[in-house]
Amino acid sequence: MRRMIGLALLAAAPAGAQGEAAALPGWMAGCWLTDDANGRRSEECWTAPRGAMMLGSGHVVEGSKSLSFEHMRIVREGTRLVFIAQPGGAPPTRFPLETQSATEMRFLNADHDYPQRVTYRLVDGALEAEVAMKDGARAMRWTFRRP
């Protein structure tokens, strides 16, 4: 009887409460590159979803010089996802999931100085990444391709 009540409560729960909202973005897995007009190359690599997380790394180079790096994670915590960024090895900054579709994820931390919003989307086989303020101001965008 308790099990039937528990199952009934799960069935009546709002969308996402059963785990759909926590789907890790397998479409992001792999390595992605972009080159800008100044000869800088940005690379972002994501592991396939395993367990409750994906691990990511970012690296910006110009010629033989490393300009920046970043450690990242997308972690499932209960029924929610959180993007965790550590640019340059800094302490972790958490961005809880705001919205998710089959090909887009938007994370938001309105208390962070910059960025407050981190968005990833898959468009025509390219990975688009954007960081911005909560309202979209001061946006920076990258369009990555597979190597």
The per-residue pLDDT for range 99-108, each reduced to its tens digit, is 999 999 999 9
Our CA dihedral for 90, 40, 42, 84, rounded to 10 degrees, sits at: 20
Residue identified by tokens 């994820």 is: 105
For 117-126, the pLDDT digits (tens) are 999 999 999 9
Query: What type of residue is 41?
Result: R
pTM of the model: 0.84
In CATH, the architecture of 19-144 is Beta Barrel (2.40)
Cβ burial of 98 (10 Å; 0-12, 13-18, 19+) is: middle
Please give the mean pLDDT across all residues of the chain: 88
pLDDT digits (tens, 9 = 90+) for 51-87: 999 999 999 999 999 999 999 999 999 999 999 999 9
Question: Could you tell me how many helices (H) and strands (E) the chain has, helices first?
Answer: 1, 10
Cα 63 to the center of its chain, rounded Å:
27
